Structure 1
Amino acid sequence: MLNITHNALNEKVDLRNFKAGKKVLKDRKYKPFNRFVIILSILAIMILFIPWTQTVSGAGYVTTLKPNQRPQTIQSPIPGRIEEWFVSEGDFVEKGDTILFISEVKQEYFDPNLINRTEQQLDAKKQSVGSYEQKIKSLSSQVNALVTEKNLKLKQAKNKIEQTRLKLVSDSIDLEAAKTNLSIAESQYNRTEQLQKEGLKSVASVEDKKLKLQETQAKLISQKNKLLASRNDLINAELDISRISATYNDKISKAESDRATAETDRFQTIADVSKLETSYANYQKRNDLYYVRAPQSGYINKVLQSGIGETFKEGEKLVSIMPADYDIAVETYISPIDLPLLHIGEKVRVRFDGWPAIVFSGWPNISYGTYGAKIVAIENYISDNGKYRVLLAPDEKEQEWPQQMRIGAGASTIALLENVPIWYELWRKLNGFPPNYYTPKNSQSESKKG
């Protein structure tokens, strides 16, 4: 029992010949199991070197490719009151169809004949413009007539001055002749008086010469008066030129001032006409805005302002509409650490909510139920959820996206990156490292060309 003896019984007696010994001392077969473990280990090592496609996952929803194809709300640019609805939720409307009719709530537009009255004011102002134009033409003609009359009057006055000067010269010559006649008459009178004293002439001759001398003196005085009158006439003629210029300049200035006033009034009236035309056009446009129309063909999603007689402010949302024709896309959100790995034009796999799919992240080729897409836009500013927005469009070379897809449905995205061994991917995951930073082949070839 204690195995104290040096004579081992098991060495002399074969216990396996006994029934109990056969059950206890049976040989165990380890070779198949060891072979299985070895093969499994070899397969595991081989699997670690199988290529694995690195991916960047994201979550988003279905949207449209173009902004004008997304759901929108219809607003009214003017405040108003709802009078009548012409559509119901879910109705299809064509572009330009009337959705609802509103009425005015501002008192300055309450007049139902506002447009007609404005048109009458506009016509009256246009006629005023024509009257001012006619007045300007009349004043221009008056100015031209005054200028012509002034020039003629000045010519007439200059001719009179010339005549007066010639008359002055003539009177001056006559005065000199009168002086000469006076000198001759005095000489004859003196000689006759001397001869009479000597007895050679009679007293009658002396008196005759004296009378002639007095007549000559009278003519000299008369001629002096004529000369002075001619000088006065010359001065008056020169004064007439200044008076004519001053008089007609005053008349012309007054006419030109009236014409300038008329032109100012005409310009002011033209400005008033322009304002009235703007008001008239605005009133017509405002009347057209009473009918809220569909900006594009689509379906009425939801009525945001219900009830008849309900008032609203300008720019307030009235109804939501979904365009009928749109190009579907996916809007996904990527973490900032993964953003440098994405580039425009790269391939992405998309899985839509509600469509069955079997996804193998590292082997996209054997995945089922995913659809091909490509990156068309990457937002440069982070969104409110702390991620960057990426817009995906369908890949024309891949299977078409489901036609039953609706805007707003959920979607999961898988961006395909580099191929790496599985052991590297496991090591990266365990250490929390991001996928490999890389540059796509297109970018490399473009940089080489540059």
Structure 2
Amino acid sequence: MVSESSKFLERKVEEASPLSRAKLMLEKGPKLLGRIMILLLILFIIILMLPWRQTIAGRGTVTALRPEDRAQTVQNQIGGRIEKWAVREGQEVKKGDTILVLSETNQSYFNPELTDRLDEQLNAKRGSEVAAEQKILATDAQIIALTNGLRIQLSAAENKVKQARNYLQIDSADLVAVRNFYETSKSRLVRYESGYKNGLFSLTDIETRRLKLQEDRAKVVAQENKLNNARQELLNSRIELDNIRAKYQQSLASAQGSRSSAVSDKAKVREEIAKLRNEMSNVDIRRGLYVVRAPQTGYVVKTLKAGIGENIKEGESVATLQPKSPLVAAEIYVDAMDVPLILDSSNVRLQFEGWPSVQFSGWPSVAVGTFAGKVSVIDRVSTGDKYRLLIRQDHPLPENDEPWPNQLRQGSGVYGRVILRSVPVWYEIWRKLNGFPPSLEKEPATAATNKK
């Protein structure tokens, strides 16, 4: 009886308990919801006051900081025919190692004894140069001989002119004397004829004086002729002197013309010798270019020509070479609006494709799998609507940071964030809603100077 009553009471209590709990929940629900909302509000306010690190995001690829460390093509300097490949794709080569061997396709260089033939031509030209030099020396000797001969002939001709001038003076004086004698004879004849009329002189005396006068007249005529001959002799001597000078000038001009011709021949021979030497040097250098060599140590990424016997032109690319130990850098692109905020000393966090990482935009310090970098180059001109940044590895590395992976390959993707100043979360939300750019932690030196 007692057991049945106790079971009845338990059943009644179980039936009544859900109704009481529901009533209690209806009475306590608003208070609990209010407390939860207050806690959420406090938590939201706390989150708004937390520090947020502003960043500028950019995406790009891995490259090399120095131009010589980037992938390059290897060109052949001369045209030719492929005879042998000395490398395969992916093979490591050292500077100066053979990549490709060519054979000649230019018929001007087919002769294997071309150097010997050019050497023979050079020796012949040198002989012509020696002959021209000897001709110049002979012409100089001829000019010296002409000068000496002229000096002697001029001295003789000048002496002859002086002698003729002296003879002319003597003959002139003699003519004066003879004329004086003639005038005296005329006077005497006049006196004798007067004395003959007066009976002082005989006819014989008169005739003697007349004969004497005729003799003196003849002497005057002879002396005049002699004087004229002396004058002609002086004129002839002067003409001979002028002829000697003119002949010397003609001979000298001919000798100088021969010398100038010899000098011209020598200069022409020297020019031909220089051309031959240049051609010989070109032949030697060209034969050394039949082997295409690696310009630096690296890896043959890809061969751009194939097969044996294929003809290639001058300056064609035959292979792509990647330097062995490049100074790796990250090449990322950012918006033009954010470029003025980036400094040469700005820090960057990088995520490389192939390396697992977790990046928190506002809290880079808690990121996992990212690597530290520093801005090295900021382009002065845009590429499209973006500006390029080159990021180098930070040295020395920050604490608890690892160096960049050695397995990085140029061309692989990279995602970077340039670290700016720390601001509250509410400020960052307000900035994003208004479309404002991030804030600088410190102004660039040039901007601060202009501002002052």
Deviation at 1:337, TM superposition (A): 3.0
Of 435, 438, 442 in structure 1, the residue corresponding to residue 437 of structure 2 is: 435
What does the per-residue CA deviation read over 1:343-367, in whole Å, with 9 as the maximum and x for residues that have no partner? 2221000111121212111101111
1:105-254 alignment to 2 at 5 Å?
105-188=105-188, 209-254=209-254
Worse-matched range after superposition: 247-256 or 116-125: 116-125
What does the per-residue CA deviation read over 1:13-35, in whole Å, with 9 as the maximum and x for residues that have no partner? xxxx9987764353223345543
Cα distance between partner residues in 2 of 1:192 and 1:34: 191
Letter in structure 2 aligned against 1:218? A
1:10 alignment counterpart: none
1:8-157 alignment to 2 at 5 Å?
23-24=18-19, 26-28=23-25, 29-30=28-29, 31-157=31-157
In structure 2, the CA distance between the partners of 1:440 and 1:311, relative to structure 1 (3 Å rule), is: farther
In structure 2, the CA distance between the partners of 1:418 and 1:168, relative to structure 1 (3 Å rule), is: same
Equivalent pair of 2:52/2:363 in contact (CA under 8 Å):
yes
Cα distance between partner residues in 2 of 1:167 and 1:444: 105
Note if 1:406 corresponds to 2:409: yes
Worse-matched range after superposition: 316-325 or 129-138: 129-138
Letter in structure 2 aligned against 1:27? L
1:355-370 alignment to 2 at 5 Å?
355-370=355-370
Worse-matched range after superposition: 415-424 or 185-194: 185-194
Q: Which secondary structure does the structure 2 equivalent of 1:83 belong to?
A: strand
Q: Provide structure 2 residue ranges, at least 5 long, that are not aligned to the other structure.
A: 1-11
Note if 1:421 corresponds to 2:421: no
Deviation at 1:408, TM superposition (A): 2.2
2:388 alignment counterpart: 389
Letter in structure 2 aligned against 1:402? P
What does the per-residue CA deviation read over 1:132-163, in whole Å, with 9 as the maximum and x for residues that have no partner? 23322322332233234334433332222221
2:3 alignment counterpart: none
Letter in structure 2 aligned against 1:403? N
Equivalent pair of 2:93/2:298 in contact (CA under 8 Å):
yes
Q: Which secondary structure does the structure 1 equivalent of 2:272 belong to?
A: helix
Cα distance between partner residues in 2 of 1:403 and 1:146: 88
Worse-matched range after superposition: 132-141 or 372-381: 132-141
Deviation at 1:368, TM superposition (A): 1.4
Worse-matched range after superposition: 210-219 or 80-89: 210-219
Deviation at 1:448, TM superposition (A): 8.8
In structure 2, the CA distance between the partners of 1:65 and 1:445, relative to structure 1 (3 Å rule), is: same
1:287 alignment counterpart: 287
2:373 alignment counterpart: 373
What does the per-residue CA deviation read over 1:101-135, in whole Å, with 9 as the maximum and x for residues that have no partner? 11122222323233332233233323323322332
1:327 alignment counterpart: 327
Cα distance between partner residues in 2 of 1:23 and 1:195: 215
In structure 2, the CA distance between the partners of 1:360 and 1:274, relative to structure 1 (3 Å rule), is: same
Deviation at 1:70, TM superposition (A): 1.0
Cα distance between partner residues in 2 of 1:251 and 1:24: 152
Q: Which secondary structure does the structure 2 equivalent of 1:337 belong to?
A: helix
2:8 alignment counterpart: none
Cα distance between partner residues in 1 of 2:130 and 2:13: 143
What does the per-residue CA deviation read over 1:288-318, in whole Å, with 9 as the maximum and x for residues that have no partner? 1111111111122211112111111122110
Q: Which secondary structure does the structure 2 equivalent of 1:414 belong to?
A: strand
Cα distance between partner residues in 2 of 1:213 and 1:169: 25
TM-score, normalisation: structure 1: 0.87
Letter in structure 1 aligned against 2:429? L
Equivalent pair of 2:350/2:371 in contact (CA under 8 Å):
yes
Q: Which secondary structure does the structure 1 equivalent of 2:357 belong to?
A: coil
Equivalent pair of 1:62/1:409 in contact (CA under 8 Å):
yes
Letter in structure 1 aligned against 2:396? K
What does the per-residue CA deviation read over 1:372-412, in whole Å, with 9 as the maximum and x for residues that have no partner? 1011112223335x422211100013232112222222211
Q: Provide structure 1 residue ranges, at least 5 long, that are not aligned to the other structure.
A: 1-16
1:4 alignment counterpart: none
Deviation at 1:191, TM superposition (A): 5.6
Instruction: Please report the RMSD computed on the Cα atoms of aligned residues, expressed in angstroms.
Output: 2.8
Letter in structure 1 aligned against 2:280? Y
Worse-matched range after superposition: 374-383 or 34-43: 34-43
In structure 2, the CA distance between the partners of 1:448 and 1:197, relative to structure 1 (3 Å rule), is: closer
Letter in structure 2 aligned against 1:393? R
Deviation at 1:171, TM superposition (A): 0.6
Q: Which secondary structure does the structure 1 equivalent of 2:337 belong to?
A: coil
Equivalenced residues, count: 432
Q: Which secondary structure does the structure 1 equivalent of 2:407 belong to?
A: coil
What does the per-residue CA deviation read over 1:160-189, in whole Å, with 9 as the maximum and x for residues that have no partner? 222111111111111122222333444555
Equivalent pair of 2:343/2:444 in contact (CA under 8 Å):
no
Cα distance between partner residues in 1 of 2:293 and 2:13: 106
In structure 2, the CA distance between the partners of 1:255 and 1:162, relative to structure 1 (3 Å rule), is: same
Cα distance between partner residues in 1 of 2:158 and 2:329: 96
Cα distance between partner residues in 2 of 1:323 and 1:377: 21
Cα distance between partner residues in 2 of 1:18 and 1:175: 195
Equivalent pair of 1:340/1:437 in contact (CA under 8 Å):
no
Q: Percent identity?
A: 40
Cα distance between partner residues in 2 of 1:303 and 1:20: 88
Letter in structure 2 aligned against 1:24? L
Cα distance between partner residues in 1 of 2:443 and 2:183: 135
Q: Which secondary structure does the structure 2 equivalent of 1:105 belong to?
A: coil
Q: Which secondary structure does the structure 1 equivalent of 2:336 belong to?
A: coil
What does the per-residue CA deviation read over 1:185-216, in whole Å, with 9 as the maximum and x for residues that have no partner? 44555666676777766666566555544433
TM-score, normalisation: structure 2: 0.86
Cα distance between partner residues in 2 of 1:192 and 1:18: 219
Note if 1:261 corresponds to 2:256: no
